[in-house]
Structure 1
């Protein structure tokens, strides 16, 4: 992993919200009130009030309204009936407040077809918390050693066979028996086992699990659909330093202002392989801008909506980036003390340059992941 070394004292946006939730909730909400139609703002008191339930719900979740009615958590600006009083509190989506909005599809007849579908990935996220016991502030533009237990979902893939020498890839624990990784890691070698709960590649304090089966995306072609699952022989035992990461289910753009963390045991760009787990902060680069950067560098790489571009800050003419050996590892964001995996390290130009790295965008493969890990979506 090639990283710059100039520290910047800024925190991930989600962490700032945790420090000052009421102030930001109010200021952003006032902005929304300003842009809402007059007929909504001037509605009756019962049609426009702050929700008071403290349970955390997210955009798309089913929520409760006064009486026996239910609603759906939607962005406030998109809710035609305003913010209902006594409804469940819905959390932010990016910078937008989310409110409990009446479900206009409900009827007094058969409601089976109107049932709100909640992704099983979101349900599993609530069941298995990915909160770290060693959360630290992210420092942008700097390569840092990861603390033990800071990323309890991070795994090192161990390969078998004659072609395994020198091969190194990461993977992310997402369920008791499944890890998410990159398909290209297994073009020349097969996964034999994974190490969890480690900092050093040869760490004596490790949990070792054998790989039962490799599930590569059926339409994987070079840089396209570069995603795979590792199915283990037995369930992982969760503990302080070993627990799964949540899958990001929010399909909206992350944006360049949100700090993302990439980690791995890859090289530093000069061919020096890491002897411990390193982390670095990068930011999303809009796809249009990313495509233009590749074209300007005369790199004939087809970049699609299934991918995400990210790059960190510059220091001494070198940029923070994932590098060789980091493949398959996670790109995560932290929201309310939980990590969400938004991308899988895939490919890119030589690391350390000004060309963003390419990651497989997790939200584009949720159906594929859920079907193989949990047997499909639930409602």
Structure 2
């Protein structure tokens, strides 16, 4: 039988850990968040700022399998794997291939759709309770196409979104120019998604949400967690300085580092790798960007922030140990300058972050098989900000012994 939970430790102060802390504290639990760096100081610091509730299509798909060989030949392209890393990535790629099969892809879409419904409901309610509505922009997104053939190639994805009740508008001509003036004439069409949202600046948003969690009683401790210890009296975390902290529940929200913590205490082998994301944040005034622009065929986006214009994205599967390749930032910035001829590309700050990615584009949510008092909540890929409040709600349900708000069988830790 699972022990009652009063004291909860969350490992990881990224946006998923912060949202989980806020929701747990609102229910009266005593929550301590432990992180080696600080509040939203790593992957959640520099993301693309999207609340991408309509992004229900998994990365793994037959279409991606067709495109991947061409993309992989370009070391600066939308999807990159360094040759030296291929042997280590082989098990992940095998699971990715299996996840791309039609039945598995459809199951992923259905699970992702349910997660996104919960994510939007929970995030907007949490933002309201935290007094943060001014930090969310409701401008929608605009995905851009350079040919009618490219428009047609995306039609199946939009049909799936339509079935999921997601509103969108295909635009051309004057309507396209109205939604984003100053586009290169190479873009012949676009798709406007009015329900897409962005935050004013990701780290500031996360820190404001943490301030709400603190007002509800959450406590932060800056320390490096080096391992977990399981016992009949309850789980504990072991810190790098040799001390241990016991709790009634431990929640692992450590993103790309999560499996390094749990692998020594579980038989599970979760195929977690990283979508290493790169971006450049240009100063305010770089361009009058009306909303987030998505260049799907090139694998990156541009986002208006209160701190400037962020140009970034793409996927480099490369784990945690390879050095960054900032040439990817420069390649995206060069493309952006061609797409928006008036863009001022000087004075930017480059960044790279580790997005925790699983082959089917779904997170892990559930208990450690060896100890139900240890809960796992990680692996959202590039959707951590988007799904953070849903992750927090589902973990709060599990801690409280309630049925989860949605069926999470598709996210169970042992599905691989």
In the superposition, the TM-score normalised over structure 1's length comes to 0.25
Q: Give the structure, 1 or 2, with the largest relative contact order (CA under 8 Å, sep 6 or more).
A: 2
Name the structure with the higher helix share. 2
